[in-house]
Structures are given as C-alpha cells and as structure tokens.
Amino acid sequence: METQSTPDTTQPTPKKTPLYEAQSKQLHFHRASADEVLYGGAAGGGKSYAIIWDAVEKCLTNKNLRIVILRRTYPELEKSIIFEFLSHVPKHLYHYHKQNKRATFSATNSSLEFDHCQFESDVYKFQSAQYDIIYIDESTHWNEFMYKYILSRLRTVKTDFTPQMKCASNPGGVGHHFMKSRFIDGAIPFEVTERTDEISGSKYTTQFIPAKVYDNEYLMKTDYVRGLMRLPVDERKALLEGDWDSFKGQFFKEWSRDVHVVNPFEIPKGWRRFRAMDWGYRNPSAVLWFAVSPKHEVYVYKELYATEKTDEELARMIHDHSKDETISYTVADPSLWSVSQYERGESLALRFNQFGVSLVRGDNNRLSGASTVHSYLSFDEKHPPLLRVFDSCLNFIRTIPALVYDQHKPEDVDTQGDDHIYDALRYGLMSHPIPKKTQKPQAPPLSFKWVMEQISYDKDRASYVGRS
C-alpha cells in the first residue's frame, strides 16, 4: 500500500494577484465623503477604471443598492465602461442582463445599471428613477441642466447609507465652466468644501480629487505621455497638465465677468425696453429683458428660466416679471409660428398673443446671430462693450461663457450645450443691430483718378476748382 505524501509546508503559498489595486489618487476617490465628488483633471489618471471598481465595491459590500454609471452617448458607454466592466470583473459575482444593461450581484442583490443621455430630453427617461449612487464619466460632456436633473434622482430610503454623486472628467466640453465653478473654484484639492446653490439656496458639499497621467504608474510605462505632448497648446494644457483655466473650444472668448457683468441699477424711464424668448417645455424656456441707453449700450437686466411650463403659464410669468414696464416688443424663435407645433391647429405665437404676450418673429440665421453677439461682447482699451448684464441674471452668467463651438460647424455654438439663454440673446440682439458709426470720410491714397473726381470745371473762370 502506498503511503500518502505529506504536503511540504515549508514552501511559501503563492500570492493571488488582486483583481484591482487602487493607486494613490484612486484611493482618495474611493474614500471621498462629500455629497458630490469630481475625480480627474487630466487624461490618463485612471478615472473610468476607478469609477467601475468603486461601483463594484459598493455593490459587493451593501445590500439592495441601486447604482447607475452614465456617459453622454451609448457608443462611449459601450466602448469604455461596459467593455471594461465585462472584461475585468469576474462573471461569477454577478448576472448581466444584456437587454437592460444591468448587472445584479448575487451575494447582495445590489444592481449596477449602465445608461446614457445623449440629448437634454433624454434625462426625462429617469423621471421616476431613484438611485443610491450615481456615477457620471466625462461629466464635462454634460451641461448644468442635465447634471442637476440627474442629481435630483439621487434619493435613498436607507437610513444607514449616504447617497453620493461621483464624477470623473477632463477639462473642456460643454460642461467645463459649470463643473469648474461647482467643484474647483474656491476649493482646496482633496478637502471637503461646503457650498450653497445660488438659485435654490440648498446646502451641499463637494470634493475635487486631481489626477494626472504621472499618477498612473501603468501608463507611465507606455508612450501615452509622448502622445499627449504632441497635442496643440490648449489641448495639451488641459489633457496633460489638467489645467482647468485653459478652456479649449470656448465660443465667446471675448467674455469677461469683470467687464460685462455690472451691479443692478434702476433703468431710466426714457430707455427703450424689449424682450426676447426661446421657447421650450421639456427643455428650458428662456426669456431676457433688454434696455437700451442713449449711447446705444444694451443691458440685459432681467431673466426668466423655467422648465415644464405651458404657454399660458409662461405668459403669466412674463407678465409678473414685467409689471409697470413699457415693453416695445417681444422677439421669439420663428418656429413658434408653425401650426404643427400645437395640437389644436394653432401656432404657439398665436397662443401667446391670446395670453397677452404679442410676439415678433425673430431672425434665426445662426451664423449672423453668432457674429452679432460677438460684436456686442467685443471690447478693447478704448472701446467698452455694447452689451452688459446685471449680476442678478445668474443663468446668463452661468451659460454664456460656458458655450463651446460646434466641431462640425466652428462658426456656431455646440447646441448640445445649455444654449437656451444664448438663443434668446441672439434673437434679441439681432432685432437691435449695432448702429453704424458716423465717421468723417478719409481721403484715399492720391491717384490721378481720385484727383480728377475732386475737381470741377468753372466755366465763368475758365479754370478747374475743387469741389465744395
């Protein structure tokens, strides 16, 4: 009979390679405690991978959580987040529902969903949703309206769990200005910052975890950095250095808060006043009030920004904002004159007229409109801008400097951004062209033709004299 060999216990037990080992900055992201967290600042910091494993860890250590990871478009979601998740997270831990894009973890019954919001109206598919944690990868691709709507879906009934919004992104994109002001301005990296929402007045905390490619030891072994070094200056500062002050693609580079934003003052009675409106129901409606000084300076002194308001409700709000004012006209998007816009066979323009807000059809030439806004915003040392805005117009100040150009039509703004205030602005300014400056005619370069045009023959004196 063979004797059974005794195991050699003197040999060391092989170490198991961990599924995921967080690097320094990723560890800060996993341990972040603020209500809203932003991780990133440069390309290659391991942001997407950190989001995936942060979500996995939450699902494995908490029961009955509902979590979602979002990107702007489905191709981005599928090629990055879903692909990385299915490739690296062990399949025995979860069951993946391909049709619903949902992974359910068997040990805890927690679920992880993968979804996207390509257009502003896509946020409404989450209207009845409720999540314990929301992740947004490349959050600067989202505008403020979309971000805040999704943020409103962050609700939990659990008393032993604190919900969080956790984002990752590089600088640049339609949401650059908003994300910078929400997470970076006035904050110390890694520390929790208490903030107050300017519009709602609600309190919340944020935390910014900066990371660069140099923090990623895996990418530093590749040629990744060399590729970033070849980028143009603006892109290199944003993607390699994580510079949030280098805003690639900003459409209105003329914008200066110090120059264009002024303290409110009482508009003199003699100044002409008018309004401009961009209509929306699911998307926000934006109304601006303009006043023109005797020097042809235009002031945006009031705004209205509302979502899911009927034409009657919006007309009532416009009246409430215009008490005791004489308004010359209200210019609006020409599409409101389309009969197909309303079920009753009436145009929305007619409906607004019935509710006491008479509309003037606006000029919707987008390129001319952009050029007009550029002209109104432009200034130099000798010439101040012809457009200024009261500091009480928070949505104007928030959205106009955040607009980026359309990559396919660089002379126009990217309409995926929060451009509703901008649309109202260009309707308004297009209805009030910049007056031509009267200048004394200057003599052209001397030429024989020009000299002959300036003189006439005097028959009485039989000589040529200069024209008076």
What's the CA gap between 178 and 402, in Å, rounded? 7
Assigned CATH class of 24-239: alpha beta
Q: Which residue has the tokens 């990871």?
A: 69
According to the CATH classification, is domain 257-430 in 3.30.420.280? yes
Q: What angle do CA 14, 20, 25 make, to 5 degrees?
A: 130
Q: How confident is the model at residue 63, as a pLDDT?
A: 95
Q: How confident is the model at residue 456, as a pLDDT?
A: 52
Q: How confident is the model at residue 211, as a pLDDT?
A: 78
Q: How confident is the model at residue 362, as a pLDDT?
A: 93
DSSP-H helix ranges across 62-169: 74-76, 83-88, 144-151
Domain range list for the chain: 24-239, 257-430
Backbone angles phi, psi at 167, to 5 degrees: -120, 160
Do 171 and 246 touch, CB atoms closer than 8 A?
Answer: yes
What's the CA gap between 271 and 347, in Å, rounded? 32
DSSP letter assigned to residue 20? -
Low-confidence ranges of the chain (pLDDT < 70): 1-18, 41-45, 212-248, 340-345, 437-468
Do 37 and 166 touch, CB atoms closer than 8 A?
Answer: yes
Q: How confident is the model at residue 13, as a pLDDT?
A: 56
Q: How confident is the model at residue 236, as a pLDDT?
A: 53
pTM: 0.60
Cα 17 to its chain centre, rounded Å, is 41
Q: How confident is the model at residue 467, as a pLDDT?
A: 46
- Gyration radius (Cα) of the chain, Å: 30
Q: What is the DSSP string of 380-404?
A: -SSS--SEEEETT-HHHHHHTTT-B
